[in-house]
Amino acid sequence: MHTKLRLLTPGPTPLPEAVRLALAQDMIHHRKAEFVRVMEELQPRLQRLFGTRQPVLPLACSGTGAMVAVATSLFAPGERVLVVEGGKFGERWREIAESLGVQVTVVAVPWGEPVDPAAVAAALEADPSIRGVLVQVSETSTGVLHPVRQLAALTRQRSVLLVADGISAVGVSPCPMDAWGLDALLTGSQKGLMLPPGLALVALSERAWAKAEALGPRHFYFNLLAERDKNRQGQTLFTAPVNLLRGLAVSLALFEEVGMEAVFRKQWALTAMVRHGVRSLGLEPLVREHFTWGLTAVSLPAGVDGAQVLQAAARYGVVLAGGQGHLKGRIVRIGHMGYVDFGDILAGLYALRHGLLDAGGFSACPNYLEIAMKAYEDAMSTGYPWEEEL
């Protein structure tokens, strides 16, 4: 009762008060002028968020729904795609493609490492029948940032579509769709966008739209061609998630109040804070380089049970996430995207330390909170790697 809950998971993430108040409003009708105004005001903001001149379409589904919508719209059964598989969500791309009868070539990457663009180039060279590359901008199961900008430079020269799952990257670190040449970018509401789950956003490039038009509508619910038509009228194909869209208008206004540069800088600084903090605790982040800016996976010492660490941390009101797949029990994931600040991370690091003490002894630098805080302040004052370097 005296403990404040701090949700430091890689989605869902905490909600700012202004967003919660927007969500609490009474219903408006999704076919009337008041809703059209919401949609028309959202569209330019969403295009700035995605860095695209193409329409950004809201869908009433979780992030995975948007993955399915894009895959069915762009690839026919029998066509071949390349999937970058280095974590749980890469696996999901493969499973979705397979469920649609799309042939899959896997470029396997050890969990915790980014894909080597040369490996993708070689696979595309070896098999000219590949029509798409499906990848995560940020692989949330490990905390890796894949070099999608470099992958897009490869696919742009070929008739291969680059499809980027940006669910834990959009609004967290730069991934400007048009500038990088991405053919599809999608995200979900409950990660960087500071909203509850249930809303996804999708944009396609000009050539991806051409491909979708050539294939024609392929799914009754996830019909992006018809969604685009409705979007031009300020509506959605079916009943819109009205309150989530009104909440989205508020969260995007919060971004714009400070500017995306400040949002990315804070994300970068929180990442530096967590990485320095866990190292001072005698632990190692799972990802050495090319780490994402919205979560940090931490390897646990042999013999320490991850589930026990999470349970002990929860006593301090801190909700951390465990590992997925073969990393279950072996890592702890600290989410720090969206409405999370340095105070939450101080609490998170303290809870992690005591979780570890409970789960088995270890030695730590007594100054770990000071060191983490200094890393945060240094990163806030020195800036972050610009999008060219990602």
Ligand X SMILES: *Cc1c(COP(=O)(O)O)cnc(C)c1O
Interface with ligand X includes 168 (CB under 6 A)? yes
Q: Which of 120/145 has CB closer to ligand X?
A: 145
Among 6, 7, 8, 11, binds ligand X (CB under 6 A): 11
Stretch that binds ligand X, among 104-112, 161-169, 299-307, 330-338 (CB under 6 A): 161-169
Nearest-CB residue for ligand X: 63
Q: Which of residues 325-344 bind ligand X (CB under 6 A)?
A: none
- Interacting residue with ligand X among 89, 180, 255, 268 (CB under 6 A): 89
For the window 206-245, what string marks contact with ligand X as x by the rule CB under 6 A? ----------------------------------------
Q: Does 85 bind ligand X (CB under 6 A)?
A: no
Task: Pick the stretch among 60-68, 226-234, 274-282, 342-350 that binds ligand X (CB under 6 A).
Answer: 60-68
Which one of the spans 13-21, 27-35, 57-65, 277-285 is the region binding ligand X (CB under 6 A)? 57-65
Nearest distance in Å: CB 123, ligand X? 21
Q: Contact with ligand X (CB under 6 A): which of 60, 85, 161, 165?
A: 165
140 binds ligand X (CB under 6 A): yes
167 part of the interface to ligand X, by CB under 6 A: yes
Interacting span for ligand X (CB under 6 A) from 27-35, 62-70, 315-323, 357-365: 62-70
Q: Which of 188, 306, 335, 355 binds ligand X (CB under 6 A)?
A: 188
Least CB distance to ligand X at residue 97 (A): 14
- The 3-state secondary structure of the chain reads CCCCCEECCCCCCCCCHHHHHHHCCCCCCCCCHHHHHHHHHHHHHHHHHHCCCCCCEEECCCHHHHHHHHHHHHCCCCCEEEEEECCHHHHHHHHHHHHCCCEEEEEECCCCCCCCHHHHHHHHHHCCCEEEEEEECEECCCCEECCHHHHHHHHHCCCCEEEEECCCCCCCCCCCHHHHCCCEEEEECCCCCCCCCCCEEEEECHHHHHHHHHHCCCCCCCCHHHHHHHHHCCCCCCCCCHHHHHHHHHHHHHHHHHCHHHHHHHHHHHHHHHHHHHHHCCCEECCCCCECCCEEEEECCCCCCHHHHHHHHHCCCEECEECCHHHCCCEEEEECCCCCCHHHHHHHHHHHHHHHHHHCCCCCCCCHHHHHHHHHHHHHHHCCCCHHHC
Q: Does 136 bind ligand X (CB under 6 A)?
A: yes
Footprint of ligand X (CB under 6 A): 11, 62-64, 89, 136, 140, 165, 167-168, 188, 191, 197
